[in-house]
Amino acid sequence: MSERFAYERLFRLDGRTALVVGAGSGIGAAAAAGLAAFGATVVCADADAPAAARTADGIGAGATSRHLDLLDPASVAAAASAVRAPDVLVTTPAVNVRKPIVEYTDAELDRVVDLNLKGTFRLCRTFGAAMAEAGRGSMIGFSSIRSQTTEPGQGAYAATKAATVMLFKTLAAELGPRGVRANTIAPGVVETPLTAPIKARSEWYDAYAAKSIFERWAQPTEMVGAVVYLASDASSYVTGTTMFVDGGWTAADGRFVPPT
């Protein structure tokens, strides 16, 4: 008789190391705590080193912290030397400059592209090589609903988030034969430092809440289930895909409820 499949272990991450970039706040901090709760040893990394340390301290013995700035190639290289080949890589940092495309300056475009796309590319290039050499791992990037649907003022941000999806699809194609999976998560509106300016304007905040089927914003903790799933053996045959955790934003029009 064959050994029973250990379904109860599907989501466990015991014995695995997870590097979470952007762990100083928001979704990254929640992801780090969630991965640790399922048994992973977590390295909390952020350009804001004190913030990363606070997240690690909150987790306790299962976490450490380090400085990692996606804008600095030397910082990424130093992190790769220290962490080497993590079993799980999660990257969340992004920035947005809300302006019409025709009003964008080159400096503003560089600011968005340098972090959201070049920084993410740099991180994945460096750690993807190490993970492929080790023959294992799950790479998880954060895209956005803006990779699929946009609005005025989101041109550069939306472009980088669509590019993130294709970057991870290509990673999946290139590194899959070497044992590395790559997927993205696309949140809807989440209460994080990035969206704080929207929350501060009640009419804007309420309009975004109304667009969700649940008629509310998400909390960072509501992204953790998707992260743990993609990090774990529960998703062992999942690669090159995007999980939308958007409260139905991209499923329903939401502008008008017709009579039924």
Q: Give the pLDDT confidence of 148-160 residue by residue, as tens digits.
A: 999 999 999 999 9
- Which pTM does this prediction carry? 0.95
**pLDDT at residue 1, as a whole number:** 44
Domain containing residue 70: CATH number: 3.40.50.720
Confidence of residue 115 (pLDDT cuts 50, 70, 90): very high
> Does residue 216 belong to any structural domain of this protein?
yes
The yes-or-no verdict on residue 257 having pLDDT over 90 is no
pLDDT tens string 73-111: 999 999 999 998 999 999 999 999 999 999 999 999 999
The pLDDT score that the predictor gives to residue 81 is 96
In-domain check, residue 253: no
Domain that includes residue 61, residue range: 12-245
Share of the chain above pLDDT 70, in %: 99
For the chain, how are helix, strand and coil distributed in percent, rounded to 5?
50, 15, 35
Domain for residue 162, yes or no? yes
Residues marked active site are found at: 157
Task: Write down the mean pLDDT value for the chain.
Answer: 95
Looking at the domain assignment, is residue 260 inside a domain?
A: no
Average pLDDT value for residue range 119-144 = 98
Instruction: Please check whether residue 4 lies inside any domain of the structure.
Output: no
Residue 257 lies in a domain: no
Q: Give how many domains the chain has, as a whole number.
A: 1
Residue 221 belongs to some domain of the structure = yes
- Provide, rounded to the nearest whole percent, the portion of the chain with pLDDT above 90: 89
Q: Is residue 64 one of the residues assigned to a domain?
A: yes
CA–CA gap between residue 141 and residue 121 (Å, rounded): 10
